[in-house]
């Protein structure tokens, strides 16, 4: 299974707390996905 398929199945909250399916982000155009981890 391709990584984009596996990631696309995930749902995360956006900045306002609304759920967003990751696959919906790259349905129409390329996306750069960055995860930032906060320590402290």
CA distance 6 to 36: 20
User: What pLDDT does residue 18 have?
Assistant: 95
For residue 4, the enclosing domain spans 1-40
CA distance 18 to 23: 15
Question: Counting beta carbons within 10 angstroms of the beta carbon of residue 12, is it exposed (0 to 12), middle (13 to 18) or buried (19 or more)?
Answer: exposed
- The predicted model scores a pTM of 0.57
| Whether 21 contacts 27, CB under 8 Å | no
User: What pLDDT does residue 9 have?
Assistant: 86
Residue with tokens 């696309």: 8
- Please give the helix or strand (H or E) that residue 11 lies within, else none: strand 11-13
- Please write the tens of the pLDDT for every residue from 1-40: 788 788 888 898 988 999 999 889 888 899 888 888 888 7
If one counts the domains in the chain, the total is 1
């Amino acid at each position: 299974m391709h990584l984009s398929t596996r990631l696309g199945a995930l749902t995360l909250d956006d900045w306002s707390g609304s759920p967003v399916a990751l696959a919906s982000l790259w349905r129409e155009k390329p996306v750069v996905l960055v995860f930032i981890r906060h320590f402290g």
